[in-house]
Amino acid sequence: MLLFGIFGNPVTHSISPRLHNATLNAFNLKGCYGRFAILEPSSLFPTFHTLYLKGANVTVPHKEVAFQGCDEVRGIAQKIGAVNTLVREGSRVIGYNTDALGFYHAISSFGQIKNALVLGAGGTAKAIAIILQEKGIETTILNRSASRLHFFENNGMTCKTWDTFTCNAYDLIINTTSAGLKDEELPCPEALLNTLFERAKGAFDVIYNQQTPFLKLANTHKLTCKDGKEMLLHQAVLAFNLFFDHRFEAERIESIMREIFTL
Ligand SMILES: NC(=O)c1ccc[n+]([C@@H]2O[C@H](COP(=O)([O-])OP(=O)(O)OC[C@H]3O[C@@H](n4cnc5c(N)ncnc54)[C@H](OP(=O)(O)O)[C@@H]3O)[C@@H](O)[C@H]2O)c1
């Protein structure tokens, strides 16, 4: 029996076990994917080893700790500095980041994007900004405060706070903050957002399964809007494929997981 799981705090809300267990079942694999609340970051890798997990996903707030503790980090995760997928290779743990590419898949429906504005400067913003940069999309970061901007500045991106920002035109406005997750807040001042939306083609919010104030406002400007569901779906597809060394077709995994969202 192969064991997998999601590590985070909190994890009770996570849909990942449903996505991965449905896929394991559909492929007749003897495996199980569970939820593990990791209260102390120091217990993340001991838990992975004690349970002899084959793979795991890592969510808030442990992605940086996961990055630091892996035996090897591969791909874009090296540049992001955060890992959301762990895969066992013998006695070694390999770390990957599938949030970045998951996001990129999710925005393919917006058509050609030349430039983007990322609201927020946390872990999710790092993954999104790095993949946008890799794909040649000019990326600007706008955050409430300055303290988290160094990472983005060091990667050559234009970085602003609400105080220093002068409004340009951006094809895509992306909310990576948790504003609107459990409150009615916008990720930046409303007047500024209205100006940005007047000039944009689309709006994307990483928060999923709810119409945030950010997306509600974007809708009033008749923009193409998308929440974080597709990003979540695609990061899970990519993670499943890493767990099984790309044995299965991504399209088949995607269609199995997509059904879970519509149930
Ligand atoms: N759809 C998906 O697949 C997916 C994947 C990963 C994460 N997520 C979601 O992404 C969100 C962010 O996660 P994270 O780990 O990046 O968070 P984080 O590291 O805690 O970053 C939070 C960022 O949001 C800003 N912020 C927080 N509250 C704000 C507010 N009320 N107004 C303006 N800015 C605010 C912070 O600004 P300061 O620096 O000024 O504090 C910071 O830049 C969460 O809701 C998470 O569920 C979704």
Same-fold call for 2-97+230-262 versus 101-227? yes
The reply to whether 222 belongs to the active site is: no
Sheet holding 85-89, edge to edge: 31-37, 2-8, 55-58, 85-89, 92-96, 72-73
58 lines ligand 1 (CB under 6 A): no
Cα(235) to centroid(ligand 1), Å: 17
Ligand 1 centre distance from Cα of residue 123 (Å):
7
Domain map of the chain by residue range? 2-97+230-262, 101-227
Using CA atoms, how far apart are residues 18 and 35, in angstroms rounded to an integer? 10
- Cα of 65 from ligand 1 centre, angstroms: 17
CATH for the stretch 2-97+230-262? 3.40.50.10860
- Residue 81 CB–ligand 1 contact under 6 Å: no
159 in Cβ contact with 136 (< 8 Å): no
CA distance linking residue 206 with residue 179, whole number of Å: 11
Ligand 1 atom 1: residue of nearest CA: 228
The CATH number that domain 101-227 falls under is: 3.40.50.720
Q: What is the mean pLDDT of residues 11-20?
A: 94
Instruction: Say how far apart CA 217 and CA 13 lie, in whole Å.
Output: 26
Atom of ligand 1 nearest to the CA of 186: 32
Predicted confidence (pLDDT) per residue in 203-231, tens digit: 999 999 889 999 999 999 999 999 999 99
Q: Whose CA is nearest to atom 47 of ligand 1?
A: 207
Give 74-120 pLDDT, tens digit per residue.
Answer: 999 999 999 999 999 999 999 999 999 999 999 999 999 999 999 99
Q: What global pTM score does this model have?
A: 0.95
Ligand 1 contacts CB of residue 119 (under 6 A): no
DSSP string, 195-215: HHHHH-SEEEES--SS--HHH
What would the pLDDT profile of 134-181 be if each residue is shown by its tens digit?
999 999 999 999 999 999 999 999 999 999 999 999 999 999 999 999
- Whether 65 and 82 have beta carbons less than 8 Å apart is answered as no
Contact 212, 205 (CB under 8 A): yes
pLDDT at 262: 76
261 falls in which pLDDT band (50, 70, 90)? confident
Q: Which of 9, 124, 237 to mutate to test the pocket of ligand 1 (most atoms within 8 A of CB)?
A: 124
